[in-house]
């Protein structure tokens, strides 16, 4: 029996040492440390309970040892487990704070595209895109002419904000026409357009459905907003947007495109 009790002492000591070692490491080990502590304490209780029945020591000694074991279970064990739980929460919060990316800085507008002329031609760099709340606007398209031709870079894409969704950037054709003060052909501007941002595209799809309802209810042939943004009255669009309960509205920019915004 002495050998068994001695082995139990060694096992208990190793379990307590393992508990302390796990606490010294990170978050993932603390759950294991909790269980090791419970097993170690339970083994110690059994070991000293067996000792109390087989020992030749006086009953007073047995009662003292039993009282110490009881005090450990009813006082030290709950306090130790509570400390481990609190420590685990603290480590998790620290890990979460460390993993949180820093607050993004305000965005800036994209750079305008460069223009390079090697002959007698005309090269026009596209305008840079508008900044978003946290993103940088896209750079304008560059243009280069080595002879007598004309080249114009498209505009850079804009970045959405929480309250503003801008249309796709102008094409190189539009950039040149506006630079030269010439009218823009609605059909030609359909080609080479930049992509819509996800926020703009989702709202544009809603407006397209309103356009389809308008043409159907008024027995008019459907038109494309890219070719004629005025085909459906803006007042009609915004009245319908209010009716379906969205918090954003539409307005027309450059007399060509919709821009979506949240009214202040």
Task: Read off the pLDDT of residues 5-63 as tens digits, 9 standing for 90 and up.
Answer: 677 677 777 776 776 777 666 545 566 777 777 787 777 777 767 767 677 777 777 77
The 10s digit of each residue's pLDDT in 63-73 is 787 777 777 66
Spatial CA neighbour of 135 closest among 170, 100, 162, 105: 105
From CA 95, how far away is CA 157, in angstroms rounded?
37
Question: Are 64 and 126 found together in one domain?
Answer: no
Question: Are 176 and 221 found together in one domain?
Answer: yes
Question: Are 193 and 64 found together in one domain?
Answer: no
How many domains, the chain? 2
- Rounded to the nearest 5 percent, the helix, strand and coil shares of the chain are 50, 10, 40
Mean pLDDT for all residues in the chain: 72
Question: Are 20 and 52 found together in one domain?
Answer: yes
Q: Range of 26's domain? A: 2-99
Higher-pLDDT residue of 209, 180 = 209
Question: Are 95 and 158 found together in one domain?
Answer: no
From CA 50, how far away is CA 39, in angstroms rounded?
16
Highest mean pLDDT among 33-37, 130-134, 155-159: 33-37
Burial tier of 187 (Cβ tally within 10 Å: 0-12, 13-18, 19+): exposed
Question: Are 63 and 165 found together in one domain?
Answer: no
pLDDT computed for residue 137 by the predictor: 43
Question: Are 93 and 139 found together in one domain?
Answer: no
The 10s digit of each residue's pLDDT in 190-200 is 776 667 888 88
Residue 245, Ramachandran bin (φ over 0: left; ψ between -120 and 50: alpha; else beta)? left
Model confidence at 157, pLDDT cuts 50, 70, 90, reads low
pLDDT computed for residue 131 by the predictor: 45
pLDDT computed for residue 96 by the predictor: 52
pLDDT computed for residue 67 by the predictor: 76
134 found inside a domain: yes
Question: Are 93 and 215 found together in one domain?
Answer: no
CB atoms within 10 A of CB 64: 12
Q: Say how far residue 120 (Cα) sits from the centre of its chain.
A: 50
């Amino acid at each position: 029996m002495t050998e068994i009790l001695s082995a139990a002492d060694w096992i208990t000591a190793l379990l307590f040492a393992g508990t302390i070692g796990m606490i010294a490491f990170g978050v993932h080990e603390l759950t294991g440390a909790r269980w090791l502590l419970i097993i170690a304490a339970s083994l110690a209780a059994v070991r000293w309970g067996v000792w109390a029945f087989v020992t030749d020591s006086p009953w007073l000694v047995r009662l003292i040892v039993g009282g110490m074991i009881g005090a450990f279970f009813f006082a030290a064990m709950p306090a130790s487990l509570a400390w481990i739980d609190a420590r685990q929460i603290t480590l998790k919060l620290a890990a979460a704070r460390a993993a949180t990316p820093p607050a993004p800085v305000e965005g800036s507008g994209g750079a305008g595209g460069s223009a390079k002329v090697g002959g007698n031609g005309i090269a026009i760099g596209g305008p840079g895109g508008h900044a978003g709340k946290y993103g940088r606007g896209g750079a304008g398209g560059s243009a280069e002419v080595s002879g007598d031709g004309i080249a114009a870079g498209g505009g850079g894409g804009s970045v959405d904000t929480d309250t503003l969704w801008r249309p796709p950037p102008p094409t190189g054709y539009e950039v040149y026409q506006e630079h030269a003060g010439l009218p823009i052909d609605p059909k030609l501007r359909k080609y080479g357009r930049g992509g819509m941002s996800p926020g703009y595209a989702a709202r544009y799809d809603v407006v397209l459905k309103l356009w389809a309802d308008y043409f159907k209810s008024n027995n008019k042939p459907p038109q494309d907003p890219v070719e004629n943004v005025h085909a459906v009255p803006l007042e009609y669009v915004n009245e319908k947007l209010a009716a379906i309960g969205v918090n954003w509205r539409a307005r027309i920019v450059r007399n060509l495109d919709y821009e979506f915004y949240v009214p202040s």
